[in-house]
Structure 1
Amino acid sequence: MSARHRRHAPAPGGAAPESIANVSRRGLLAGIGAGALVLAVGVPTAADAQQPKGFGRDGMPNGWRDDPKVFIAIAPDGTVTVTCHRAEMGQGVRTSIPMVVADELEADWSKVRVAQAWGDEGRFGNQDTDGSRSLRHFFIPMRNAGAAARTMLEQAAANQWRVPVAEVRAANHNVIHAASGRMLGYGELARAAAELPVPARETLRLKDPSAFRYIGKEGTGLIDNRDITTGKAIYGIDARVDGTLYAVVARPPVFGGKVKSVDSAEALKVPGVLKVVNIDPPAIPSEFQPLGGVAVVARNTYAAMKGRDALKIEWDDGPNASYSSDAYRASLEQSARKPGKVVRNEGDVDRAMAGAAKKVEAEYYIPHLAQSPLEPPAALVRIANGQCEAWSCVQSPQITRTRLAERLGMPEDKVKVNVTLLGGGFGRKSKPDFVIEAGLCSKAMDGAPVKLTWTREDDLHNGFYHTVSVERLEAGLDASGKPVAWLHRSAAPTIGSTFVADPKHATPFELGMGLVNTPFAIPNIRAENPEAATHTRIGWFRSVSNIPHAFAVQSFVAELAHAAGRDPKDYLLELIGPPRVVDPTDLGDVWNHGEDPKLYPIDTGRLRRVIETAAAGIGWGKQVGQNRGLGIAGHYSFVSYVAVAAEVEVDGRGQLSIPRVDIAVDCGPMVNPERVRSQMEGAVVMGAGLATSAEISFKNGRVEQNNFDAYELTRIDTAPREIRVHLLPSNDYGRPLGGVGEPGLPPVAPAIANAVFAATGKRIRQLPIRDQLTS
């Protein structure tokens, strides 16, 4: 932050001048005082924790009760403050959730503010921002909350005017009695409305979608946009309080390693360095615990970094010292070439394969990936008077609170986690190891506030990586080129290794990401999951296992089309088959993205439609010229349907460029189309990076990439020149919503790879593409 921004930046949790973004809960309740109307929607109790997640028949999240959770407050001056219980990391949730409330409330958007919930599952319910489910799970609860507030305001006005409530209506922040022309503002009614009982859910009158003012409309803009663009917004890396100290950590370079010996004498001589703190290594599996190592606490981050450089540490590299990507890839390939655990089996694949007119097989390799949010992990923790308070860019504040309390040996109710804005997350910031590190440093400094920052090198060397994967596919074709048998073996270390020692096989949710639930109309299908050992931390990454599965499946479909002499788009649609509704559990998917398969079946008609839309958008079948090609891919994930059509050019030197990408999405009803569009654009840019340049590799247990010079994100000169987003509209708001943040990513890489083949005749079977076109 600049000096000017530091002068005006609020203390974490406080409000920035002229800001509608940084309203703290404490400040909200204190500022409203008497006369405020405060409402809430349901929260799951401890007894509900084991209940099935997803929607019940009433449209509410299963197991949810009417205890305080997401508050709507109306102050005497008419200001409406909505508490957002999900983290904002660019997806727009701090705007979209208030939009839903404001629409049903008939609020004036200019009078709506947002407060960020702190980490407290008992008060706010599950606060994990992941799985593209924030609006999917809370669209109806937020509508109910807004409708309840509107109903109470209308009743309060009717009582004051002594008229039947049916004669009054709320409109644009006022309640109106048309017969007499009387009108009262929301602020004038707040005190009286607060005295009324909250109406029962079944009595609420929700607006007809034709009357929506904000939901499904464009032009709202981000509620935090002014603060972000003027530098007033507070991210985790900005947080500070009076007396803040600063820390960095030297962590084991190999997962599972530990400090053998450390000499801190030279580090303590660095001006500004105050203390060197040992952090014990975790037991394996390590879950979200810090990796251990040595922290340096100083008066500023630069001094802490110089002190860390001066440490003399001898490391015991532990059991993963020999982990190297080349050798591990070879082991995965060997595993994928042998029968593995059968996770889906329909028909008789072996018999059909033996009788096929032609057999096609291919192996695809996808390396480890790093989430690499542009804001690296950072946290500020202070311990004082028996209380611990943290400020951080976390996606999962409640597990952060729990693990911080456990590690510090404090009661959980004495720990508060304030959620700042996130400068990107992509799954990395759902793991609170960096917050625990800050807490341990604060404890070592007798409770003084310590802000701990990860450098980019720390982020790449010590992350929770997206899994490496070898995907082997085999198909038997009949005389007409149509598949009669399909075999898919997926070998990859599992996220389950974060929680369970040496699990070997994928979890059900990983299997349900494009492996067992591939909705192809092929009579004989088998999916297998061979064993794979884990040698580093594996974590969530945007779209998770959909990335390798979609890359392999959609690339292989294009290979089959070529073998059959068919157009790739037409062949893909033929494999999907006619429009039909498929119960995912019939395919062996017991997870279904956490949703009720009756409410969220796989609809192949919707998948076909996005493929056709993307193809039409790019002008599929047109002549694109020499050294250019078109590729297409479609994928179902997070209960949404996305297809990508890409145009690429490969020049005479083997340099790849992407003139245009068309992406089509059907996510059901849309709350904020602007944010859906931006999420799809972001997915295309990120997906282009995964396709062309991004890779984490290991040698002797160590990550080989140090910074963005080697771990290359998509830059402006390599990004697609034109991205066209096609939103398939749905005005049926009685249908459940799909996901948006993650589903755009999986089809991007295979569409680009397929386009490369169309342009050059070279098949891409491993990512990233990098220099494969120059050899």
Structure 2
Amino acid sequence: MIHDAKMMAELAAETPTRTPLIANVSRRTILGGLGAFVLAVNLRGTAKAEAAKDEPPKFGADGMPHGWRDDPKIFVAIAADGRVTVTNHRSDMGQGVRTSVAFVVADELEADWSKVGVVQAWGDEERFGNQDTDGSRSLRHFFQHFRHAGAAARLMLIQAAAKQWNVPASEVTAENHVLAHAKSKRTIGYGEVAAAAAELPVPARESVVLKDPKTFRYIGKGQIGIIDNRDITTGKAVYGLDTKREGMLYALVARPAVYGGKVVSYDDTETKKVPGVVKVFKIDGGAIPSEFMPLGGVAVVAKNTWAAMKGREALKIVWDDGPNAGYDTDAFRTELEKASRAPGKVVRNQGDVDGAMAKAKTKLTADYFVPHLVQAPMEPPAAVVQVKDGACEAWACTQGPQAAHDRLVKALGLPADKVRVNVTLLGGGFGRKSKPDYVVEAALCSREVGGAPVKLTWTREDDIHHGYYHTISAEHLEAGLDDKGMPVAWLHRSAAPTIGSIFAPDPKHELPFELGMGLVNTPFAVPNIRLENPEAAAHVRIGWFRSVSNIPHAFAIQSFVAELAHAAGRDAKDYLLDLIGPARKIDPTTIGDVWNHGEDPKLYPIDTGRLRRVIETAAGGAGWGRKLEKGRGLGLAGHYSFVTHTAVAAEVEVDPKGGVKVVAVDIAIDCGPQVNPERIRSQMEGAVVMGMGLALTSEITFKNGRAQQNNFDGYEIIRIDAAPKVIRVHLVNSGTWDGPLGGVGEPGVPPVAPAIANAVFAATGRRVRQLPIRDQLSA
């Protein structure tokens, strides 16, 4: 191993114990400067996020996608002073993945947590494996690899100590950063044998013995805070917007207000009069499908952000609004609802729905609507990029560093090995920052000004006007009930523009991964089910949004179940449990879901027993069945997403003017083994608040192709004073540490809105069938 003492000293100076370094970690630093010992494992990932999401993955005997192996790759380093540095390959946007990755490794390594730090991997999937931080899969896919990495490092340290003492390795133990030989009463620290351990071959995977979970120090304990919490709370942590480089310029872009629009001409006379403006130039764009490339427009580069803003305001631009100039969400909603009430592409067909519907004693029909949404992370998209001397280096708050790397290569025409993407902390993401158009914009600005580093920032208005929106959807449901009020026939039509529209020209149907988000995998014990997907065109950029298509599907289905329960004169909880049926494991591929969130259906079946359990747990936590005062109600919803089962029970109060206040929420989650309970609780609390926003206030509307909301005064997210004073998170534990893990980041959101809507009905007798609720109840 390269052992660069000078670089090690520099790194130590920048990164004191347990203070992770994010910015300016060079490849050479990782390879050589971290210290005497580097353990390598491969974390090779699956296909890129944007490619082949509708294709069923292939799996090996270990249940992991083919292509994953334990070839040498940089992952763990131990310095001569014993300090352990873990390389984290996934983006941290508040979910705490840097902490969770570090303590999984540290636990198997038997490391002293006070001597553990983290560095962030740059974008390189060949080295680090899949780096797309989406789909709630960071720990789900890599937990066992992290364990093996830590355990292999521990074994190599044991072997090095045994060799130094000339004793059998079987007689040496490792515990809390100390190696010991009981017979001779000798001990030695990790750092003292790190150099010798580095010379040993990485042990074969089958020779590495993982710890007995009973001896875990950190995994599953929930007693470790965020590893970089001090830096975050004291303002030392580096986010995309914080990045600074010597000689840096600043840029903003005037983009077409309508998706597919183009610049016809522009006059920058007044812009050039603004003090500090350096360069004004046109960025090509307007292509449909847009993929992850820029929309186009006119860029203003200046010596400071204020000058760039004022310069952009002074531009006079003539636009061609293009094919989506007439997009109006009110009119489009009418189109979607019409489509959802007519036969569409059949995506699941079980039994004879028409025959059973005709013979049903009672028939119920309902239509539900969910508007466009925008991710609106606290930190808008931002990147610093320098294109100079035939190379490009970027610093960005990105969820997809490899995607950013590949788009930079494409846009700049540079060799892949001449482009590097460094990942900063993210001030939120929710799917927006998996699309690196803003990184490419910054690169084009740097190239245009002759190679100076350029920080390109999206304002909040930019973020709301030009983002990748959550799809708009119309959901039509019908059910035929028997004499006991239970469905004998179930019809659901879901009409929504697809994310596939940013990759392919004019697709009309949702892709299998969207259909597999709570639609085709509806786990109800109904003998006759038909699910359809009518055509729907896209008129804006549709992209990933936390929980994606689970949001409209869960809202419609769980609301409709509550309506059926009321029609049958049944308790909503009991009715939902009866509809789910007895505990059983369903292979999702047998009911039309070829995707199953990218997981092996044998390892990850839909488990109705687990779904029942979280519903009962959430309801029990809320005191389901208790008598409430006038104007208050309890609502319930459950959902399966990202191979995790969740349920929410919400208590609301509706005032005489129709205002809705969420009093308390109980959320139950069964994600299998719980690696970091503290972070699971935090993510569920965040999911509740975000789900409340979707239920009560948030929506994006379009007129003449233009987003009508500008900032948080129009696109309302839930404020602190609206958050419920009580959120009870119930962690329902299942599975073993050798078994599969579920997702956590996204599954908490889908059941929140239907639980609130059902609670509103319980309080008022009025149904909520469209989101957000806003002032619907004041009429």
For each residue in 1:626-646, what CA deviation from the matched residue of structure 2 results, as whole angstroms up to 9, or x when unmatched? Answer: 100000000000000000000
Show the counterpart of 2:698: 694
For each residue in 1:678-710, what CA deviation from the matched residue of structure 2 results, as whole angstroms up to 9, or x when unmatched? Answer: 000000000000000000000000000000001
2:323 paired with 1:322 = no
Secondary structure, in 3 states, of the residue corresponding to 2:318?
A: strand
Matched letter for residue 44 of structure 2? V
Matched letter for residue 159 of structure 2? Q
Secondary structure, in 3 states, of the residue corresponding to 1:139?
A: helix
Matched letter for residue 720 of structure 1? P
2:282 paired with 1:281 = no
Q: CA RMSD in A?
A: 1.8
2:176 paired with 1:177 = no
Show the counterpart of 1:570: 574
From 181, 205, 227, the counterpart of 1:223: 227
From 666, 671, 676, the counterpart of 1:667: 671
2:38 paired with 1:37 = yes
Matched letter for residue 292 of structure 1? G
Matched letter for residue 41 of structure 1? N
From 112, 132, 144, the counterpart of 1:140: 144
For each residue in 1:363-418, what CA deviation from the matched residue of structure 2 results, as whole angstroms up to 9, or x when unmatched? Answer: 00000000000100000001222221100000000010011111011111101100
Identify if the C-alpha distance between structure 1 residues 206 and 229 changes in structure 2 by more than 3 Å, giving closer, same or farther.
same
For each residue in 1:453-503, what CA deviation from the matched residue of structure 2 results, as whole angstroms up to 9, or x when unmatched? Answer: 000000000000000000000000011101000000000000000101111
Identify if the C-alpha distance between structure 1 residues 44 and 700 changes in structure 2 by more than 3 Å, giving closer, same or farther.
closer
Matched residues in 2 for 1:169 and 1:541: separation?
Answer: 47
From 294, 297, 305, the counterpart of 2:298: 294
2:764 paired with 1:760 = yes
**Superposed, which structure 2 residues align to 1:151-166 within 5 Å?**
151-166=155-170
Identify if the C-alpha distance between structure 1 residues 670 and 168 changes in structure 2 by more than 3 Å, giving closer, same or farther.
same
Contact 2:281 2:299 in 1 (8 A): yes
Matched letter for residue 35 of structure 1? A
Matched residues in 2 for 1:68 and 1:703: separation?
Answer: 49
Identify if the C-alpha distance between structure 1 residues 12 and 302 changes in structure 2 by more than 3 Å, giving closer, same or farther.
farther
Which 10-residue stretch deviates more, 483-492 or 381-390? 381-390
Secondary structure, in 3 states, of the residue corresponding to 1:265?
A: coil
Identify if the C-alpha distance between structure 1 residues 260 and 504 changes in structure 2 by more than 3 Å, giving closer, same or farther.
same
Show the counterpart of 2:3: none
Show the counterpart of 1:4: none
2:677 paired with 1:654 = no
Matched letter for residue 306 of structure 1? K
Matched residues in 2 for 1:358 and 1:18: separation?
Answer: 67
Show the counterpart of 2:609: 605
Identify if the C-alpha distance between structure 1 residues 297 and 402 changes in structure 2 by more than 3 Å, giving closer, same or farther.
same
Matched letter for residue 405 of structure 2? R
Show the counterpart of 1:7: none
2:394 paired with 1:390 = yes
Secondary structure, in 3 states, of the residue corresponding to 2:104?
A: helix
Matched residues in 1 for 2:557 and 2:76: separation?
Answer: 46
Matched residues in 2 for 1:731 and 1:140: separation?
Answer: 14
Give the TM-score, by structure 2 length: 0.96
Contact 2:559 2:754 in 1 (8 A): yes
Matched letter for residue 340 of structure 1? G
Identify if the C-alpha distance between structure 1 residues 198 and 719 changes in structure 2 by more than 3 Å, giving closer, same or farther.
same
Matched residues in 1 for 2:314 and 2:417: separation?
Answer: 39
Task: Quote the offset at 1:59 in angstroms.
Answer: 4.9
Show the counterpart of 1:3: none
Matched residues in 1 for 2:465 and 2:744: separation?
Answer: 30
Contact 1:55 1:137 in 2 (8 A): no
Matched residues in 1 for 2:31 and 2:370: separation?
Answer: 52
Identify if the C-alpha distance between structure 1 residues 42 and 703 changes in structure 2 by more than 3 Å, giving closer, same or farther.
closer
Secondary structure, in 3 states, of the residue corresponding to 1:670?
A: coil
Show the counterpart of 1:508: 512
Matched residues in 2 for 1:557 and 1:202: separation?
Answer: 49
Secondary structure, in 3 states, of the residue corresponding to 2:155?
A: helix
Which 10-residue stretch deviates more, 402-411 or 17-26? 17-26
Task: Quote the offset at 1:729 in angstroms.
Answer: 2.1
From 365, 369, 385, the counterpart of 2:369: 365
Matched residues in 1 for 2:492 and 2:645: separation?
Answer: 22
For each residue in 1:480-539, what CA deviation from the matched residue of structure 2 results, as whole angstroms up to 9, or x when unmatched? Answer: 101000000000000000101111000000000000000000000000000001101000
Contact 1:45 1:122 in 2 (8 A): no
Matched letter for residue 343 of structure 1? V
**Superposed, which structure 2 residues align to 1:67-86 within 5 Å?**
67-86=71-90
Matched letter for residue 594 of structure 1? G
Task: Quote the offset at 1:22 in angstroms.
Answer: 1.3
**Superposed, which structure 2 residues align to 1:210-359 within 5 Å?**
210-359=214-363
Long gaps (5+) in structure 1: 1-10
Show the counterpart of 1:620: 624
Show the counterpart of 1:451: 455
Identify if the C-alpha distance between structure 1 residues 611 and 719 changes in structure 2 by more than 3 Å, giving closer, same or farther.
same
Matched residues in 1 for 2:615 and 2:95: separation?
Answer: 24
Identify if the C-alpha distance between structure 1 residues 587 and 30 changes in structure 2 by more than 3 Å, giving closer, same or farther.
closer
Show the counterpart of 1:168: 172
Matched letter for residue 425 of structure 1? G
Show the counterpart of 1:491: 495
Show the counterpart of 2:592: 588
For each residue in 1:51-87, what CA deviation from the matched residue of structure 2 results, as whole angstroms up to 9, or x when unmatched? Answer: 9747633254432133343511111111111100000
Which 10-residue stretch deviates more, 71-80 or 428-437? 71-80
Matched residues in 1 for 2:272 and 2:488: separation?
Answer: 69
Which 10-residue stretch deviates more, 11-20 or 420-429? 11-20
Matched residues in 1 for 2:56 and 2:148: separation?
Answer: 21
Matched letter for residue 305 of structure 2? T
For each residue in 1:304-340, what CA deviation from the matched residue of structure 2 results, as whole angstroms up to 9, or x when unmatched? Answer: 0000000011111010000001100000011001000
Contact 2:220 2:676 in 1 (8 A): yes
Matched residues in 2 for 1:491 and 1:480: separation?
Answer: 31
Show the counterpart of 1:541: 545
Matched residues in 2 for 1:31 and 1:665: separation?
Answer: 42
Contact 2:43 2:142 in 1 (8 A): no
Matched residues in 2 for 1:583 and 1:323: separation?
Answer: 40
Identify if the C-alpha distance between structure 1 residues 609 and 312 changes in structure 2 by more than 3 Å, giving closer, same or farther.
same
Contact 1:466 1:540 in 2 (8 A): yes
Secondary structure, in 3 states, of the residue corresponding to 2:719?
A: coil
Matched letter for residue 19 of structure 2? I
Identify if the C-alpha distance between structure 1 residues 53 and 271 changes in structure 2 by more than 3 Å, giving closer, same or farther.
same
Matched letter for residue 327 of structure 2? Y
Which 10-residue stretch deviates more, 144-153 or 738-747? 144-153
Matched residues in 2 for 1:44 and 1:134: separation?
Answer: 11
Show the counterpart of 2:775: 771
Show the counterpart of 1:20: 19
From 205, 209, 212, the counterpart of 1:208: 212
Task: Quote the offset at 1:12 in angstroms.
Answer: 13
Identify if the C-alpha distance between structure 1 residues 25 and 727 changes in structure 2 by more than 3 Å, giving closer, same or farther.
farther
Percent of aligned pairs sharing the same letter: 70
Secondary structure, in 3 states, of the residue corresponding to 1:71?
A: strand
Identify if the C-alpha distance between structure 1 residues 37 and 289 changes in structure 2 by more than 3 Å, giving closer, same or farther.
closer
Show the counterpart of 1:532: 536
Matched letter for residue 376 of structure 1? P
Secondary structure, in 3 states, of the residue corresponding to 1:83?
A: strand
Show the counterpart of 2:117: 113
Contact 2:43 2:127 in 1 (8 A): no
Matched letter for residue 168 of structure 1? V
Give the TM-score, by structure 1 length: 0.96
Task: Quote the offset at 1:290 in angstroms.
Answer: 0.5
Matched residues in 2 for 1:134 and 1:38: separation?
Answer: 20
Show the counterpart of 2:416: 412
Matched residues in 2 for 1:402 and 1:148: separation?
Answer: 33
Task: Quote the offset at 1:721 in angstroms.
Answer: 2.0
Contact 1:253 1:702 in 2 (8 A): yes
Identify if the C-alpha distance between structure 1 residues 14 and 122 changes in structure 2 by more than 3 Å, giving closer, same or farther.
farther
Contact 1:28 1:115 in 2 (8 A): no
Contact 1:52 1:63 in 2 (8 A): no
